[in-house]
Structure 1
Amino acid sequence: MGESDLIHLDVVGLNPAIVKHEKQEKAEFSINRKCYSHLKKKTFATFVASKRISSLWHCCDEAFSDSLSIHRHVSNVHANEVDMLISAALDQMSNQSEADDSVQTSLNECQAKDASSWMPDISHLSEDKFSEGPGEVILYYRYCQIKEPRLIRDWQNELCSRLHLTGKVRVATEGINGTVGGTKTATSLYIKAMMAHPIFQVMQVEDFKTSDGGADCFPDLKVGVYKEIVPMGVDPDVISYKLAGTHLEPDEFHKEVQSLLNDGSSDSDTILLDCRNFYESKIGQFKNCLAPDIRKFSYFPDYVEKNLDLFRNKKVLMYCTGGIRCERGSAYLRSKNVCKEVYQLKGGIHKYLEKFPDGFYRGKLFVFDERYSISFNDDIISDCRYCGTPWDQYQLCSTDFCYQLVLSCTACRQKGLTACCPLCQVKGQTSSRSPTSGRVHKEECECTNSRPRIPTDTS
């Protein structure tokens, strides 16, 4: 089969048989339909991205404001150019294969390889490189098709174990989501291993958000296979990340928020939506945001359903910690067809604060590890649950029947005020004098209903 035939072949109807590149002579360079489909999508996406300037795409003397329009334009007008780029990529893959005297495997074959096939070489490094020295925590996600998530889980388990990394990694057929901590030597090798793997090679260094920390930020390593890489509670096949809102770079989002704040009117047609949990927005948020009173992200769809009129004909600017919840959250909001426009902060608050530490986000950024929060500025927007002094350092409620976080300052903790509310404090004192075996842990305590629906903005 010739190169031009490969470019124009029916990818969907192709049999699993191997397709051979005509220039192959000695090396057994081969590619199947999954690998070709992946290459075609990657090339198309790169071509579209090259046309983006600020928040618009510019091509053929036209400006396109949404991704659907530019995608249609490229498909209809620039198909031949994309084909040429695919052809060049195939040549490059063929040449690399011949030089290495090896076979270019397909995506399916890549996933079927033993976990050790994608391990970085650490033979030249001493053991203390993974246990001593500066450390950090990395946060990342990638939506992509993973045919065999259990194989990726096994690879991640072995990779993290070899590098002495702790943390949490969720793998699903829709992609991967992780936050791990260790020495900077270990995290650097981890990032390189991720980008070298054929399934995740489209990732770039900037997709990994870093902060000071280390392996001690997590009690252990947990890698598992799940239905969703972020638990919204909605089948990804029903509401896909592919329906997500328009991504705004931090500087674009900053300008949008600035415009909203300058407007200052109570009937603005723009909503700045925090799609995180209440305890996250309590210690840090954008000025004038709408922060839903939800305990879990899986409550977000219900919140949207109950507040559709709030979003009707509105322009929504959505944000979360690292961007992953906005991918599914914005998709769900868009599926209701009530908003005028839906945008999301690319890279989340984390990337925004890297560029605008003194911008419109005030307070701390909550993180899901034993640090509980990281700081980019000195703002404290929350206070002690008991005395009201400015305080933003979370600890778990001291009772054994409540998993809520509590803001209790040092002085109050010294007085024994370590529960999330007075009622839990009394129950804690009672339970400490009686057996607790067999107790069922409650997700929320009785103080839940006393929380305001929308946190008051601190101006």
Structure 2
Amino acid sequence: MDWELETSTCNGLKQEKQLCASQRRCYSLCRRKSFSAFVASKRDGSAEEGSPPWRCCGQTFNEHSAVHKHAAGTHDAEIRQLTQAAYERSLSQLGEEAETQRRTEREAEPVDISAWIPESGHISEEQLQKGPGKVLLFYRYCPVEDPHAVRAWQEALCEKLHLTGKVRLATEGINGTVGGTDAATDLYIDAMRSHPLFKMEKEDFKTSDGGPECFKDMRVGVHKEIVPMGMDPDVISYQLAGDHLEPEEFHEEVKALLAKGDSCNDTILLDCRNFYESKIGQFTQCLAPSIRKFSYFPDYVDQNLDLFRDKKVLMYCTGGIRCERGSAYLRSKDVCKEVYQLKGGIHNYLERFPEGFYRGKLFVFDERYAISSNKDVISDCRYCGGPWDQYELCSTEFCRQLVLSCPACRRDDGRTACCPACQTKGRAPHHREECECTDGRPRIPRDAESHKGNLVFAKDVLISHSEA
């Protein structure tokens, strides 16, 4: 598991501050993986059942926290050497991949994308740029032989329609959220539906109030996965996903689950989103893992197989895409009795049941941070404890976590920094990955009953918008 270092960072921070943003992310990832690998190397594989699982420097350790503190405090120099070696290998590999991609792009024949650009002569430029608007959320899993050609089309299409947002492409499909005027987004939907690859219907696009102002720019990229779970799509394919339930069917399942109350021990309502999303909105009596990002979900499943054994699992996420891969991974473990997922995610459910069993806000990955269909507030301000569910960016420029800080606390005490490390002057603030307020480690609940109907959260739930 990618356990974040909370100590042993001073020299690393000095080195990282000299790097650009992308290099810092790469270095930080190498440090976490090196730390994780070092700890894993101290596991005593020959120990009998019930014996301490880690041995190092003549000591035995029973808990993750104990062996992590020992490694960070005693073996800092070794971990830095491992990190540097891994970082240099990563840079070399990235350079080779970039050169291969450039060579491939130079050799590839140009693709005529004009046929995929809709005619917009009947709509004025003013209509495309001004007026009421909305935000679209969509995805489609399907084979894409040439994602770079699709990227060129998406870039040209979004530029023509003055859309903003983010689109991820891979050989397994497309995933996007874009904002624009009503006229522009309608044309975008028409263009997507007419493209021969995707075969999408109008109901495949989830909509909410917004517009181009909800995003800073338009980004279209080609990636390994259209949703970053960290698993090879060829190994864990969306084709292994659980059975889809329409919102009405899902509603009835949740209703039956709630009717049984504490006596229900054969069904789990599983939120496969991240903890900062579940913090402000959730289905009643759900199980919400304390994971900071979706790539931790496989670790959570692996450490909790007994939790799901012989159970019926009802999964949900924001728009449905994470459930596609998440349910496929859960099914690959062959422990569940049944695995179902909410078709279209919370977005679709709230359109049918705005006052249903989902309470609180729905976190969204744009400048709005959250949208709502009911007035319930299920979270609180991290400073005063009063009801509050609107995130603000940490005021420390280097950190930029999201923090739940109510207007009174911000006005009276200027409380928008996310943790003491960010508030302390004269010290280098923590990076996102090590910021103590995130408690970003994928803490794994092992007792099903202690988490039934609860949320498992860090004390102060914060997250970088870019990590979403």
Q: State the SS of the aligned residue for 1:137.
A: strand
How much has 1:445 moved relative to structure 2?
1.3
Q: Which has the higher contact order (CA 8 A, sep 6+)?
A: 2
Out of 232, 236, 239, the residue aligned to residue 235 of structure 1 is 232
Matched, 1:448 2:438: yes
Corresponding residue of 1:190: 188
Contact 1:133–1:183 (Cα < 8 Å) also in 2? yes
Corresponding residue of 1:395: 392
Corresponding residue of 2:211: 214
The CA RMSD over aligned residues, in Å, is 2.0
How much has 1:267 moved relative to structure 2?
5.1
Corresponding residue of 1:39: none
How much has 1:418 moved relative to structure 2?
0.2
How much has 1:232 moved relative to structure 2?
0.3
CA offsets 1:82-129 (integer angstroms, 9 cap, x no match)? xxxxxxxxxxxxxxxxxxxxxxxxxxxxx9741222111112221111
Out of 305, 309, 326, the residue aligned to residue 323 of structure 2 is 326
Out of 356, 379, 384, the residue aligned to residue 353 of structure 2 is 356
How much has 1:408 moved relative to structure 2?
0.2
Which deviates more, 133-142 or 387-396? 387-396
Contact 2:399–2:422 (Cα < 8 Å) also in 1? no
CA offsets 1:213-269 (integer angstroms, 9 cap, x no match)? 010100100000000000000000000000000000000000000000000125511
Contact 1:399–1:424 (Cα < 8 Å) also in 2? no
Higher Cα Rg, which structure: 1
CA offsets 1:52-88 (integer angstroms, 9 cap, x no match)? xxxxxxxxxxxxxxxxxxxxxxxxxxxxxxxxxxxxx
Out of 392, 401, 405, the residue aligned to residue 402 of structure 2 is 405
How much has 1:403 moved relative to structure 2?
3.7
Out of 140, 149, 157, the residue aligned to residue 142 of structure 1 is 140
* Residues 1:295 and 1:254: Cα distance change in structure 2 (over 3 Å): same
Corresponding residue of 2:200: 203
CA–CA separation in structure 1 for the residues paired with 2:440 and 2:136: 35
**Percent same amino acid among aligned pairs?**
70
CA–CA separation in structure 2 for the residues paired with 1:290 and 1:246: 19
CA–CA separation in structure 2 for the residues paired with 1:450 and 1:197: 40
Corresponding residue of 2:255: 258
CA–CA separation in structure 2 for the residues paired with 1:159 and 1:257: 40
CA–CA separation in structure 2 for the residues paired with 1:116 and 1:450: 45
Alignment of 1:66-81 (within 5 A): none
Out of 223, 233, 236, the residue aligned to residue 220 of structure 2 is 223
* Residues 1:337 and 1:387: Cα distance change in structure 2 (over 3 Å): same
Which deviates more, 400-409 or 376-385? 400-409
Contact 1:419–1:425 (Cα < 8 Å) also in 2? yes
Whichever residue aligns with residue 446 of structure 1, its letter is: E
* Residues 1:424 and 1:409: Cα distance change in structure 2 (over 3 Å): farther
Extract unaligned runs of 5+ from structure 1. Answer: 1-110
Whichever residue aligns with residue 187 of structure 2, its letter is: L
Which deviates more, 149-158 or 402-411? 402-411
CA–CA separation in structure 1 for the residues paired with 2:360 and 2:145: 41
Corresponding residue of 2:112: 114
How much has 1:430 moved relative to structure 2?
4.0
Contact 1:318–1:326 (Cα < 8 Å) also in 2? yes
* Residues 1:392 and 1:430: Cα distance change in structure 2 (over 3 Å): farther
CA–CA separation in structure 2 for the residues paired with 1:441 and 1:375: 31
Whichever residue aligns with residue 144 of structure 1, its letter is: C
Contact 2:315–2:341 (Cα < 8 Å) also in 1? yes
Contact 1:402–1:443 (Cα < 8 Å) also in 2? no
Whichever residue aligns with residue 198 of structure 1, its letter is: P
How much has 1:346 moved relative to structure 2?
0.1
Contact 1:404–1:444 (Cα < 8 Å) also in 2? no
CA offsets 1:392-439 (integer angstroms, 9 cap, x no match)? 111122223324210000011112100223x14423x445xxxx7xx8
Alignment of 1:396-435 (within 5 A): 396-414=393-411, 415-421=413-419, 423-427=420-424, 429-430=425-426
Q: State the SS of the aligned residue for 2:224.
A: coil
CA–CA separation in structure 2 for the residues paired with 1:144 and 1:162: 25
Corresponding residue of 1:80: none
CA–CA separation in structure 2 for the residues paired with 1:159 and 1:440: 40
Which deviates more, 115-124 or 356-365? 115-124
Out of 343, 348, 372, the residue aligned to residue 346 of structure 1 is 343
CA–CA separation in structure 2 for the residues paired with 1:446 and 1:395: 17
Contact 1:149–1:171 (Cα < 8 Å) also in 2? yes
Corresponding residue of 2:266: 269
Matched, 1:377 2:374: yes
What TM-score, normalized to structure 1? 0.71
Count of paired positions: 339
Contact 1:147–1:173 (Cα < 8 Å) also in 2? yes
* Residues 1:388 and 1:419: Cα distance change in structure 2 (over 3 Å): same
